[in-house]
């Protein structure tokens, strides 16, 4: 039997916590809710979530700071859910380590779709190890190593690396990458892919761009 994905909801509004807890439970997730960052970090230790939905404006430690702490787990999918809709807030949230950013008021179906997209490629029951040149991915432990050294990737960087490893030698357009890794349209789509490719190259020491190659006018591919 497949393991349920565990979702941590962090919001100081009880109505939001209840809405998300009930709605996500009905969709097959296991949910724990926290009213602030301190309670959230306690749940991280005991609950070991696969994903976290984090509000920004909370008493005490805010959601941006909490996101930076949660990001210490490279395999945790983090979605910021907040009323703060300024571009600078979105940029800060993503820079702090969030994988996605959704503004309140929100549509629950859209939130669930984004959450499913973020968790789509997490394998809970299968054993799978892929290797290309000096990069190895263990899809059970969600560990990526380069020449045996552990590489700390964000959830989206991990999914991007996984998609490339599953398609060695195949040219993948930015549209294909967005569809398979993000699963929905996102403002500034092309730049989003470019930023994640650049970050991934840095982390896997691909300074010569020989592992992740750019095919101008078409997209990217994993080696020849």
Residues 48 and 140 in one domain: no
**109/27 same-domain check:** yes
Query: Does one domain contain both 99 and 159?
Result: no
Domain endpoint, select from 119, 140, 170: 119
Give pTM, 2 decimals. Answer: 0.56
Q: Is the CB of residue 81 less than 8 Å from the CB of residue 104?
A: yes
Q: Which of 119, 140, 165 is the last residue of a domain?
A: 119
Note the pLDDT of residue 3: 56
Q: How many domains does the chain have?
A: 2
Q: Are residues 115 and 199 in the same domain?
A: no
Residue 63 covered by a domain: yes
Residue ending a domain, choose from 94, 119, 144: 119
Q: Which domain holds residue 28?
A: 6-119
Residue 133 lies in a domain: yes
Is 82 a domain residue?
yes
- Predicted pLDDT at 9: 97
For residues 94 and 70, state if they share a domain. Answer: yes
Q: Residue 5's pLDDT is what?
A: 83
Are residues 18 and 106 located together in one domain of the fold?
yes
Q: Indicate if 216 and 141 belong to the same structural domain.
A: yes
Q: Which residues of the chain have pLDDT under 50?
A: 1-2, 123-126, 184-185
Domain assignment present for 1: no
- The pLDDT value given to residue 183: 62
Could you tell me if 161 and 182 lie in one domain?
yes
Predicted local confidence at residue 47, as pLDDT: 82
Domain for residue 216, yes or no? yes
Both 110 and 20 in a single domain? yes
In a domain, 124, yes or no: no
- Whether residue 62 is found in the same domain as residue 86: yes
- Tens-place pLDDT, residues 52-107: 999 999 999 999 999 999 988 877 899 999 999 899 999 999 999 998 999 999 99
175: part of which helix (H) or strand (E)?
Answer: helix 174-177
Question: DSSP alpha helices (H): ranges in 27-154?
Answer: 37-47, 63-70, 87-95, 108-119
Provide the pLDDT for residue 32.
Answer: 94
Query: In terms of domains, do 33 and 107 share one?
Result: yes
Please, which residues bridge with residue 6 across strands?
30
Residues 19 and 112 in one domain: yes
CATH of residue 44: 3.40.50.2300
Among 81, 85, 88, 36, which residue's Cα sits nearest to residue 58?
Answer: 36
CATH of the domain at 166: 1.10.10.10
State the helix-helix crossing angle for 155-165 and 189-203, rounded to 10 degrees.
80
């Amino acid at each position: 039997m497949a393991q349920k994905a565990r979702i941590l909801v962090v919001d100081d509004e009880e109505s939001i916590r209840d809405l998300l807890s009930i709605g996500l439970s009905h969709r097959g997730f296991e949910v724990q809710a926290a009213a602030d960052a301190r309670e959230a970090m306690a749940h991280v230790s005991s609950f070991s979530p696969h994903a976290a939905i984090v509000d920004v404006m909370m008493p005490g430690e805010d959601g941006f700071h909490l996101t930076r702490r949660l990001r210490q787990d490279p395999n945790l999918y983090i979605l910021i859910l907040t009323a703060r809709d300024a571009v600078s807030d979105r940029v800060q949230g993503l820079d702090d380590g969030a994988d996605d950013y959704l503004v309140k008021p929100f549509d629950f179906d859209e939130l669930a779709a984004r959450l499913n997209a973020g968790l789509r490629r997490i394998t809970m029951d299968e054993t799978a190890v892929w290797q290309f040149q000096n990069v190895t991915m263990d899809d059970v432990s969600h560990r990526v190593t380069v020449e045996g050294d552990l590489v700390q990737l964000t959830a989206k960087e991990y999914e991007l690396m996984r998609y490339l490893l599953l398609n060695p030698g195949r040219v993948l357009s930015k549209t294909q990458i967005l569809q398979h890794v993000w699963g929905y349209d996102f403002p500034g789509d092309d730049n989003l892919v470019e930023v994640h490719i650049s970050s991934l190259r840095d982390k896997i020491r691909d300074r010569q761009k020989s592992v992740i190659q750019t095919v101008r006018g078409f997209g990217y591919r994993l080696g020849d």
